[in-house]
Amino acid sequence: MEIDIRQLRAFEVLLRERNLTKAAVTLGLSQPALSKTLARLRRYFGDPLFVRAGNGMEPTAKAHELEPSVRGLLDSVTMLRAHHRPFDPQTAVRTFSFSVVDSGMLRLLPALIPYLEREAPGVRLRVVPPDVDGLEASLEAGHLDFAMGSFAALSKRVRRQLLWSVTYVSLARRDHPRLGLKPAAAAFAAERHVVVSTAGTGHAHQQAERALERAIPAESIVCRVPTFLTAAFVAARTDAVATVPETVGDELAAALGLRVFPTPVKMPRLDVSQYWHERFHRDPGNQWIRSVFASLFGASASR
């Protein structure tokens, strides 16, 4: 009996997730199919590999012993594939998947789509919201080619490149009945607010959310929404104030008839990077799309 790369990949995911159900979701398999794969691995290595512990599974000493060899082999296979897949953007037909919060979409896509139409007409994009619980696993498995944002907790196997830094501005409708051009902190805090919440994504915007919560009475937060665009739309149709990254504040204000003003409370400055897994660092297509983002949106790009 022999085992194949897919089965070794399942072993690696089980090592990380230590839960059959979560591992099956990551691999895109049914739980019975993954159970059969695990049974095959157990027979091949002559060891249980994983034993039940509470609601999860703990690796045996044998599984820990196998881990570095299996990781090295899977990394080598990825590199081998990359060497045989040259990437020519003018002729390539490929979909790149990445995750980003909606403020990133508003910043990236208007410039990115025309560039791809001109330079890589066969390239398509799939954009999904970030999910911190599955982000690193998705990068490692290749379900995501890269992620955009501010995710300090990702491991050292995930590489990163700083693109830009951002702080925050606030938005209110142009004919707001109380707020002037530069409201004081007390006047700002006394208004109703719609707050963007990225809880569960692992994105550093949560620092900004906490800063607003410290400055604004709880009763003044009338609504929490998952996207910056929704917050801006609410501000355009009500007296509520929305606070958003400055990189998209002007665009949202122009589109929705809003006024932009400096947020009169101390807000964090966040570094926005692109993240990719070490396993795909040398993949030619991955290298190309990362270079596109760096040239269009990096520190040296014209603003």
157 and 284, same domain (yes or no): yes
Helices (H), the chain: 5-17, 20-27, 31-45, 61-83, 102-119, 132-141, 185-190, 205-215, 228-237, 246-256, 284-297
CB 139 within 8 Å of CB 147: yes
pLDDT tens figures, 246-291 = 988 988 998 999 999 999 999 999 999 999 998 888 888 999 999 9
235 and 258, same domain (yes or no): yes
Mean pLDDT score, 224-229: 92
49: left (phi over 0), alpha (psi -120 to 50) or beta: left
Mean pLDDT score, 226-247: 94
Q: 123 - beta bridge partners?
A: 94
The verdict on residue 303 lying in a domain is no
**Whether pLDDT at 88 is above 70:** yes
The verdict on residue 278 lying in a domain is yes
> How many domains, the chain?
3
What is d(CA 224, CA 28) in angstroms, rounded to the nearest whole number? 32
CB 157 within 8 Å of CB 140: yes
Question: Which of 66-80, 145-159, 182-196 comes out lowest in average pLDDT?
Answer: 66-80
263 and 129, same domain (yes or no): no
146 and 291, same domain (yes or no): yes
Task: Provide φ and ψ at 59, rounded to 5°.
Answer: -70, 145
Q: What domain range includes position 280? A: 94-165+271-297
Mean pLDDT score, 177-195: 92
181 and 231, same domain (yes or no): yes
What is d(CA 1, CA 39) in angstroms, rounded to the nearest whole number? 12
Which CATH number characterizes residue 241's domain? 3.40.190.10
Which CATH number characterizes residue 44's domain? 1.10.10.10
Residue 82 has what pLDDT?
A: 58
CB 267 within 8 Å of CB 195: no
153 and 25, same domain (yes or no): no
What is d(CA 234, CA 226) in angstroms, rounded to the nearest whole number? 12
Identify the helix (H) or strand (E) that includes residue 124.
Answer: strand 123-128
**Whether pLDDT at 299 is above 80:** no
137 and 280, same domain (yes or no): yes
102 and 234, same domain (yes or no): no
Domain boundary among 32, 63, 83: 83
pTM higher than 0.75 for the full model?
Answer: no
Q: Give the count of beta carbons closer than 10 Å to the beta carbon of residue 156.
A: 7
- The one-letter amino acid at 54: G
Residue 303 has what pLDDT?
A: 46
